[in-house]
Amino acid sequence: NAGVTQTPKFRILKIGQSMTLQCAQDMNHNYMYWYRQDPGMGLKLIYYSVGAGITDKGEVPNGYNVSRSTTEDFPLRLELAAPSQTSVYFCASSYYSGGTNYGYTFGSGTRLTVV
């Protein structure tokens, strides 16, 4: 049981490049989330998914895209990277049932620098 696995751990992108941040969980969690964390700003929700095939925007979705073709995987795509996307990205998952969320689990984070 690996929990939430994020790859890569670090990446440097040039302005205008694209990349995909991978996130996988093996806990059969139905909810998955992508956050970014900027210094002094706390975590901000980018996108989330309540189940396979369903995704929704969070607070800061511009410049990102996601897909949820399986329960396990929730990749985050950055198109045309900009310096403002320099941040630490966290993927998380949880099991939601009966009006309650259980077992929030975070990945170890991806540190992305756009130069």
Strand stretches in the chain, DSSP E: 4-7, 10-13, 19-25, 31-38, 42-51, 54-57, 64-66, 76-78, 87-97, 100-106, 110-114
Please count the residues of the chain. Answer: 115
Among 1, 40, 62, 115, binds other proteins (CB under 8 A): 40
Nearest distance in Å: CB 114, other proteins: 21
**Gap between the Cα atoms of 78 and 38, Å rounded:** 17
Other Cβ atoms less than 10 A from the Cβ of 109: the count is: 17
The span of 16-24, 68-76, 78-86, 91-99 binding other proteins (CB under 8 A) equals: 91-99
CA-angle at 98, arms to 92 and 101, nearest 5°: 20
Asked if residue 44 binds other proteins (CB under 8 A), the reply is yes
Asked if residue 48 binds other proteins (CB under 8 A), the reply is yes
Among 61, 63, 75, 109, binds other proteins (CB under 8 A): 109
DSSP state of 73: B
Nearest distance in Å: CB 25, other proteins: 13
Among 5, 11, 19, 43, binds other proteins (CB under 8 A): 43
Which residues contribute to the site for other proteins (CB under 8 A)? 31, 33, 35, 40-45, 48, 50, 56, 58, 90, 92, 96, 99-101, 104-109
